[in-house]
Structure 1
Amino acid sequence: MNRPQWLIGALLACAPLTSALAIELNQDFALQIDTALVSDYRTRGISQTQNDPAAQLGLTLQHVSGAYLGAWTSNVDYGYDYKTRQEMDYYAGWYWQASEDIALDLGYLKYSYPKESQFNQSDTYAILHAYGFEVAAYYGNDYPTYFGENQANLYTYLAYNAELPAEFKLRVRYGRNDAKDPLYLSGSGDTRDTYHEWEARLSHELLGFDWAVSYIDTDLSQNECRTQFGFGDVCTATVVASVSRSF
């Protein structure tokens, strides 16, 4: 299973989060609270809720040095007899603002699933922000697959964020997920260890909330999706609506 590609740090990422509006605690620390409702929780193009809605909450403690740590949660649904209905993520990192247009985000992210610990895994990540572009890499070597535990996985993406007229914002992203083993089995019996996914997201802030709609798709066939994720429709093209707010 694939996990969130949203990122923390300055809260610039792929999940439906608004711009940072942290609550100042004292001279050195600030707390950011992020809330979101989404019509489908998708990460790396794959639905984590079987195409159903999700409610999400994140807390990030930020230091003036750029260091941060936090936690994020969402409901999930992997079907069958899996007992977990929640994802809990814990993260820590460092956000360095080199200039107004260039920043670097480095960190560690742990994904955990109550009552189904076999899904637990982690990533080390790096994200470069430059003039509206983002180049990111997430690497983990403890991913569980049917080949066994502690499998390696590399997820990378290229994204661009643009300001549009009337205060609309556009984000486009193209990602590649590269597993160590040939996890994806086609109907013809061919296998591969890599798939691609993409997203186009249009958002607008209104009444203090960030309203967005995204088109998300992957190049996985229904059979490849079914053999890896259990269902053929959790990798197919979809439109996701979201409303979010940060405090």
Structure 2
Amino acid sequence: MKAVSILPVLALLAAAPAVAQIPDGGITFFGEATLLSDYRFRGLSRSEGDPALQGALTVQTDSGFYVGGRGTTLKGIGDVMVGDFGDAELDLYAGYGFNLGLGTSVDAGLLYYYFPDGEGKTDYFEPYASISHQLGPVQATAGAKYAPEQAALGDQDMLYTFGEIEAGIPTTPLTLTAGAGHQDAGAFGDYWNWSLGARAALGPLQAGIRYVDTDVPEEVPHADAGVVLSLGVRF
């Protein structure tokens, strides 16, 4: 097995200060490190149902621009892609978020999926956009991610549309979550995925539980329903 390329990312996160802001610079760093019981990407497991480590670091300006990366350990499986993903996934992103007022905000950017030790054509990019509305403790988000034709996608374009709802329970550290998404991968077919869950925040500590399912046929590996547990720290 090749060395897991995500380890330098996790080491960087572990050494980062808690929500550090550059004085008078208008720049803030956000990070997190999480242990997952299973890594689900749009309802499908990319860790073969086994635990995975995930870390992320984002740099954001006061004006709304941001750039960052998120790394996750894998089990070397593939998806609708042509090649083998290898043992790590690194999602690089850059975007811009802004408020429209009255509790509504918009976010748009570009994602690049990079698999350091993947075999074959695995890396691809995907623009995204979403709109969110906050009403009291409830936030609803709808969005889309569109990947144009690329070799890693079997020369098919791919559209993922999704909706999410989060509701914080007043006077408690609990937040309830629900979401659904539809993946259309052209000649590779399409499917739905959905989830229900809850998470608790105790200072920088984050714990969560989600039930995840899809309508992918049972004979397809890594697509069956499951419960995903998470435990991490945000800084």
Band of TM-score, shorter chain: 0.7 to 0.9
Letter in 2 for 1:172: A
Q: What are the residue-to-residue correspondences of 1:1-247 with 2, within 5 Å?
A: 22-27=19-24, 28-79=26-77, 82=84, 84-99=86-101, 101-116=103-118, 118-131=121-134, 132-144=139-151, 149-165=154-170, 166-181=172-187, 183=188, 193-206=189-202, 208-223=204-219, 225=220, 232=221, 234-247=222-235
Give 1:169's aligned amino acid: T
Amino acid at match of 2:128: Y
How far is the alpha carbon of 1:97 from its aligned partner? 2.0
Q: C-alpha root-mean-square deviation of aligned residues, in Å?
A: 2.0
- In the alignment of these two chains, the number of paired residues is 207
Identity fraction in percent? 27
SS in 1 for 2:155: strand
Distance 1:143 1:221 in 2: 26
Amino acid at match of 2:40: R
> For residues 171 and 221 of structure 1, do their structure 2 counterparts lie closer, same or farther at Cα, with a shift above 3 Å needed?
same
Aligned partner of residue 50 in structure 1, secondary structure = coil
Specify the alignment match of 1:190 in structure 2: none
Contact persistence 1:122–1:142 (CA under 8 A): no
1:98 alignment partner, SS class:
strand
Alpha-carbon shift at residue 78 of structure 1 (Å): 3.0
Aligned residues of 2:85 and 2:122 also touching (Cα < 8 A):
no
> SS of the counterpart of 2:165?
strand
Distance 2:50 2:86 in 1: 15
Measure, in 2, the Cα distance between the counterparts of 1:68 and 1:83. Answer: 27
Report if the CA contact (8 A) 1:42-1:48 is conserved. yes
Separation in 1 of the partners of 2:91 and 2:186? 23
Contact 1:143 1:153 in 2 (8 A): no
Stretches (4+) displaced over 4 A: 79-83
TM-score by length of 2: 0.82
Task: Provide the C-alpha distance between the structure 1 equivalents of 2:211 and 2:161, rounded to a whole number of angstroms.
Answer: 19
Give the superposition deviation at 1:219: 0.3
Render the CA deviation track for 1:127-182: whole Å, top value 9, x for unaligned.
1111211001000014556xx7332000011111111253311110011001121x
CA contact (8 A) 2:131 2:142 kept: yes
TM value normalised by structure 1: 0.78
- Whether the aligned pair in 2 keeps the contact of 1:71 and 1:89 (CA below 8 Å) is yes
Say if 1:118 and 1:207 are closer, same or farther in 2 by CA, change over 3 A.
same
Instruction: Give the distance between the partners of 1:70 and 1:150, measured in 2 at CA.
Output: 27
Aligned partner of 1:18 in structure 2 is none
Amino acid at match of 2:92: Y
Greater mean deviation of Cα atoms: 199-208 or 34-43? 199-208
